[in-house]
Amino acid sequence: MKHARASSYIIPVKLKDGRYMLIHGYTGAVDIITEGLLKK
């Protein structure tokens, strides 16, 4: 099974509730994820 490489443009920002906002510095895409998902 081949693993995908994470983009070097992704900027994780920790939110007050413990989740993370991921910002893609090139495209401007934004997503909110849990800390557990961030660690994977």
> What confidence tens digit (pLDDT) does each residue in 1-36 have?
666 777 899 999 999 999 999 999 999 999 999 999
Q: What is the pLDDT of residue 5?
A: 77
Q: What is the pLDDT of residue 13?
A: 96
Q: How far apart are the first and last CA of the chain?
A: 15
Give the strand order in the sheet containing 30-33: 10-14, 20-24, 30-33
Q: What is the pLDDT of residue 40?
A: 84
Q: What is the pLDDT of residue 7?
A: 84
The Cα–Cα gap between 24 and 7 comes to 8
Q: What is the pLDDT of residue 4?
A: 73
